[in-house]
Amino acid sequence: MVVSSTPPGYELTEEQRLVRDTVRALADDRIAPRAAEIDRTGEFPWDVKALLAEHDLLGLGIPAEYGGVGADLLSVCLAVEQVSRVCATSGLIIAVQELASLPIVLAGTDEQRRRWLPDLAAGRQLVAFALTEPEAGSDAAAVRTRAVRDGDDYVIEGTKRFITHGSIADLVVVFAVTDPEADRHGRMSAFVVERDRPGFRVARLEHKMGIRGSPTAELVFDGVRIPAGNRLGAEGEGFAIAMRTFERSRPAIAAQAVGIAQGALEVATAYARTRRQFGRPIGDFQMVAALLADMDAATEAARQLLYRACTVIERGGPDAARWAAIAKLVAGDAAMRVTTDAVQVLGGYGYVDEYPVERMMRDAKITQLYEGTQQIQRLVVARALLGRE
C-alpha cells in the first residue's frame, strides 16, 4: 500500500514544497522549451520521458520497496501539476504511468509487484491502462473483451479504444470479462499483458484536438494467451480494481487541469502587463483585469480543493470516490474556462500559435473527458449524496 507522509494540516509539508519547486524548475528549464514542438509534430517526446525517468518522476507513487519513490498522492499531483503547467502531454506521461501502475500496486501479489513495478518505477518500461472499448465508454461495466480460462492460461479476445500510451507501452493492464453471467460489477477481471505476446496489435492511432504528443491507440487482442499468473486480484474483481484506481488517478487528472489553468493564467497576466492599446497596458482596463482575477480565483479554488482531496483520499475511507470526482469536476471546468478566457485576454494573438494559450485551451478539453466525463463525475457525487448504488 502507499504510505502517507502527509500530516494532517493545511500546509504543504517541507518535502512537498521541495517536490513542487524541484519539478517546477525542471519543467521550466527542460520541458517548456519543447512544448510547442511536441504539439506541432504530434510525436511522443521520448526525451521528456527520459528526463522524467532520470528524476524518478515515473515511479513517484510506487512504493519504495518496489523501486519507486513512495511519495504520497499529493506529491504525485504536485509533480503532474507543475509539468502540465508548461506541457500537458508531458504531465500526462506521469499521470498515466501512475494510473496504470496502480492496479498492480493495489491488487498485485508481492511476486507480481516484484516482477513489474521496479521497471515501471525506474521508467525503463511504460504501462497503459486499457478499460475503454468502442461500446464501453462511460458505461465501463459494459466491457465486451473476453478472457477465457484455458488450463494455466487465459486467452484474451477483444478491442480497446482510446488507450493512452497503448502503442508505446511495454505492459498493458487490460480489463476483460471472465464471467459473462455474473452481475455488472462482478463480470470483469484485470490482467497484465506484455506487448510482445502474439495476437496483440495496435490497430490505429487517433488524430486529436489536444495533448497531441500523447499517443492514443486502438488495441486489438486477437487470441492473446497469457499465464494465469498475470491476473491481478481474484476473478471478478476487475471492476472494483478499476474504481479503486480511479480514486487515486482522477486527482492526477485534476492536477493536470490545475497545471494547464495556471500556465494559461501566467501567460495571460504577463501579456496584459505589456500589451498596450488606447495608450496603456490592457491590464489597466477593468474588464481585462476582472477576467484575470476570475481566472486566478478559479485556478486557486480548484487547486486548494484538489490538495484537500488528496489528503482525504490518502487517509482512505468511504468518501474517497466523492472527493476524487469533485476535484476532477471542478478542476476540469476551471481549466476549460481559464484557458478560454486566456485566449480572450490575448485577443487575436491568443488564437494563433505564436502564444501557447490556444494549445492550452485545446489541451484543457481532455480533462473534462477522460477518466470519466464531467457528467460521470456528477453521477459519482450524486450517488454518494443520494446513497444509491
Partner 1 sequence: MRIVVLTKPVPDPASGQDRLGPDWRVDRAAAPAVLNGNDEYALEAALRLVEAHGGEITLLAMAPPSAPETLRKGLAMGADRAVLVTDPALAGSDIPSTVAVLAAALRDLEADLVLAGIDTSDGFAGVVPAALATTLRLPLLSNAAAIEPDPAAGRVRVRRIVQGGYDVLEAPLPALVSCTQALGAPRYPSLKGIMAARSKEIAVRSLADLGPLPRPVGGAVAETVVVAVDPPPPRGATRTVRAPAAEAAREIAEFLAARRLLP
Ligand X SMILES: Cc1cc2nc3c(=O)[nH]c(=O)nc-3n(C[C@H](O)[C@H](O)[C@H](O)COP(=O)(O)OP(=O)(O)OC[C@H]3O[C@@H](n4cnc5c(N)ncnc54)[C@H](O)[C@@H]3O)c2cc1C
Q: Which residues make up the interface to partner 1 (CB under 8 A)?
A: 5, 14-15, 17-19, 21-22, 25-26, 54-57, 59-60, 64, 69-71, 79
- Using the rule CB under 6 A, give the single segment among 23-31, 180-188, 292-300, 363-371 that binds ligand X: 363-371
CA distance 106 to 296: 36
DSSP state of 237: -
Chosen residue from 84, 132, 230, 367 binding ligand X by CB under 6 A: 132
Phi, psi angles (nearest 5°) of residue 159: -130, 135
For 138-152, give the DSSP string.
Answer: S-GGG---EEEEETT
- Residue 269 binds which of ligand X, partner 1, none (CB < 5-8 A, kind-dependent): none
Catalytic annotation present for 266: no
- Residue 366 binds which of partner 1, ligand X, none (CB < 5-8 A, kind-dependent): ligand X
Grid cell listed for 102: 496502480
- State yes or no: residue 373 binds ligand X (CB under 6 A): yes
Report, in Å, the least distance between residue 167 CB and partner 1. Answer: 27
Residue type at 270 in one-letter notation: A
- Residue 369 binds which of ligand X, partner 1, none (CB < 5-8 A, kind-dependent): ligand X
Residues 6+ positions from 227 with CB-CB distance below 8 Å: 152, 153, 154
Integer angstrom CA distances of residue 285 from 48, 272, 350: 39, 9, 18
- Residue 57 binds which of ligand X, partner 1, none (CB < 5-8 A, kind-dependent): partner 1
Nearer to ligand X, 221 or 355 (CB): 221
**CA-based nearest residue to 226, from 263, 270, 178:** 178
Binding residues for ligand X, rule CB under 6 A, total 20
Instruction: Tell me the per-residue interface mask from 159 to 198 with ligand X, x by CB under 6 A, - otherwise.
Output: ---xxx----------------------------------
CA distance 214 to 164: 7
CA distance 183 to 238: 12
Check: CB of residue 158 under 8 Å from CB of residue 133: yes
Residue numbers annotated as active site: 371
- The footprint of ligand X (CB under 6 A) covers 129-132, 137-138, 162-164, 208, 216, 366, 369-373, 375-376, 379
